Amino acid sequence: MRNRSLFWIVLIAACGGLVAPATAKLPATLGYTFFVDGQPVGRTDIRVVETPGALKFESKTRVSTASGTIELTAQTEADPKTFAVRQFSFKGTKGDRPVETLVHVAGDSVYGEIALGGTRTPKALRLPKPRAVVFEDWLMELELLLALTQAQSKQKTSVYGLVFAGSFLPAELMAGFAGEVLVEAGERSFAARRLVVAITGAAPFESHVDPERGVPVYLRFPAVRAEVFLDEVFGDNPVTYFVPTQKGDK
């Protein structure tokens, strides 16, 4: 993983320039559709509320894959200027197991609690880097905040302390913009900023970000053949990158 991460740092440094932060107001609602192996597996709907003192998100997410069904309702509060997460929580089910988590972030300190199957456990840790990001699979508001945070970074590649919300495990995350990529959706096309993200111990993924609003319109996770499409851009029938695997294919 160390060599792979180094490759992505070199790529970002070679291709990416400093990216100006988006200044446009965020949409009041966002809808994303999830695909795995070229097939739709779920969606998320997000409500965004901007105030002078806080940027708030409420989302409902449902995803069904071979691993089971995930249904989560989440709430996020972030700083409206730095986009740093102040508080994040979700509640719902993963498979047949009820889950719940609460995360408070203060600098590199993270504290809160997780509940699995009704058993609550207090959690607290100090992240390896002072700038903290929160991560949870399928929750797109966290990907949006990461894109907005990196867009205003003065560094081509930034390293953040990361906490996995569902387990409170710490990690490091590297992110950087690496040039532009053409987004084509029907008769519409535009150049999006390509954000490359690598989490310690995992394969890199990429996010294609609207250069005006800072909103991710498409994400691709090659290691698990997953894609995420913004409904506003791609509509009901996006063209997927991955071809569905037939039985017997390797």
Residue 2 has pLDDT above 60, yes or no: no
For 18-65, write each residue's pLDDT tens digit. Answer: 444 444 689 999 999 999 999 999 999 999 999 999 999 999 999 999
Q: Do the beta carbons of residue 182 and residue 188 sit within 8 Å?
A: no
pLDDT at 15: 44
For 98-128, write each residue's pLDDT tens digit. Answer: 999 999 999 889 999 999 887 899 999 999 8
Residue 74 has pLDDT above 60, yes or no: yes
pLDDT at 248: 54
On average, the pLDDT of the chain sits at: 89
Q: Do the beta carbons of residue 150 and residue 160 sit within 8 Å?
A: no
DSSP per position, 156-208? SEEEEEEEETTTTEEEEEEEEEEEEEEEEETTEEEEEEEEEEEETTS--EEEE
Per-domain boundaries in the chain:
2-234
Residue 3 pLDDT level (bands cut at 50, 70, 90): very low
For 5-28, write each residue's pLDDT tens digit. Answer: 444 444 444 444 444 444 468 999
For 125-153, write each residue's pLDDT tens digit. Answer: 999 887 899 999 999 999 999 999 999 99
